[in-house]
Amino acid sequence: VTDKILFIKKNTTPLKKFNDFSPIIKNTIYLSCDKGKKDFVKMIVNTFVSRLRSPCASTVLRPAAIRTWPLAVAAPTLSKSWRSMSSYSTLSKPRGSNGMGLPAEMSHLTVDTIVATAPILAPHALHITKNFYSRMLKSHPKILEFFDPAHNVPISPKALVESMAAYANNTTNLSTLLTPGGLVEAISHRHCALAIFPEQYVLAHTHLMAAIEEVMDDVVTPEISAAWSEAILVLARKCIDKEEYLYKISEERAGGWSGFTNFTVTGIVDIASGVKQISFKPPAGSPLEGTRHFEFAPGQYLTLKIEISDGVGVGPRHYMCTAPPDQDFLQCTIKKLPGGKVSTYVHEQLQVGDTVKLTPPHGVFTPDTESVDSSSVFLSAGIGVTPMLNMHRALGSENVKLVVHVDRTPSTHPYKDYFDASGSKTLYKYTDVETFDGNLNPPSAAELVSETIALVGDSVDHNFYICGPDDWMDNVKAELLERGARKVKFEVFGSQLATDYPFAALGIL
Spatial distance between the Cα atoms of 240 and 97, rounded to a whole number of angstroms:
6
**Pairing of the two strands 463-467 and 376-381:** parallel
Sequence-separated (6 or more) residues with CB below 8 Å from residue 417: none
Whether 337 has a pLDDT exceeding 70, the answer reads yes
| 407-436 exposure pattern, b = at least 16 Cβ within 10 A, e = fewer | bbeeebbbbbeebeebebeebebbbeeeee
Sequence-separated (6 or more) residues with CB below 8 Å from residue 7: none
pLDDT the model gives residue 309: 65
Whether 310 has a pLDDT exceeding 90, the answer reads no
Spatial distance between the Cα atoms of 506 and 185, rounded to a whole number of angstroms:
13
User: What value does the CA radius of gyration of the chain take, rounded to a whole number of Å?
Assistant: 25
Task: Tell me the per-residue pLDDT of 149-186, one tens digit each, with 9 for 90 and over.
Answer: 555 444 466 777 778 888 888 888 888 888 887 888 98
Beta partners for residue 463, in sequence order: 376, 487
Of the candidates 5, 208, 205, the residue with the CA atom closest to the CA atom of residue 125:
208
* 409 vs 491: which has the higher pLDDT: 409
* 372 vs 322: which has the higher pLDDT: 322
Confidence of residue 432 (pLDDT cuts 50, 70, 90): confident
Confidence of residue 60 (pLDDT cuts 50, 70, 90): very low
Task: Tell me the per-residue pLDDT of 445-490, one tens digit each, with 9 for 90 and over.
Answer: 999 999 999 999 887 789 999 999 989 999 999 999 999 898 899 8
3-state helix, strand, coil in the chain (%, to 5): 45, 20, 40
Whether 78 has a pLDDT exceeding 80, the answer reads no
pLDDT the model gives residue 69: 36
DSSP notation for 276-307: EEEEEEPPTT-TTTT-------TT-EEEEEEE
Contact (CB, 8 A) for 331 and 323: yes
pLDDT the model gives residue 34: 56
Task: Over range 247-273, report the average pLDDT.
Answer: 96
Q: What is the pTM of this model?
A: 0.77
pLDDT the model gives residue 238: 94
Q: Count other Cβ atoms within 10 Å, centred on residue 35.
A: 10
Q: Count other Cβ atoms within 10 Å, centred on residue 218.
A: 5
| 41-73 exposure pattern, b = at least 16 Cβ within 10 A, e = fewer | beebbebbeeebeeebeeeeeeeeebebbebbb
Confidence of residue 124 (pLDDT cuts 50, 70, 90): very high
% of the chain surpassing 90 pLDDT: 54
Spatial distance between the Cα atoms of 416 and 421, rounded to a whole number of angstroms:
9
Confidence of residue 24 (pLDDT cuts 50, 70, 90): very low
Task: Over range 363-385, report the average pLDDT.
Answer: 85
Least trusted range by pLDDT, from 24-38, 129-143, 317-331, 425-439: 24-38
Ordered structural domains, the chain, with CATH: 14-61 (no CATH), 108-252 (1.10.490.10), 261-362 (2.40.30.10), 376-506 (3.40.50.80)
Least trusted range by pLDDT, from 5-19, 145-159, 484-498: 5-19
pLDDT the model gives residue 148: 62
Q: Count other Cβ atoms within 10 Å, centred on residue 470.
A: 17
Q: Which helix (H) or strand (E) holds 275?
A: strand 275-281
Which range is most confident: 45-59, 79-93, 257-271, 452-466? 257-271
DSSP notation for 232-264: HHHHHHHHHHHHHHHHHHHHHSTT--BS-EEEE
Helix (H, G, I), strand (E, B) or coil at 456: helix
Sequence-separated (6 or more) residues with CB below 8 Å from residue 90: 195, 257, 258, 259, 260, 261
Task: Tell me the per-residue pLDDT of 344-361, one tens digit each, with 9 for 90 and over.
Answer: 999 999 999 999 999 999
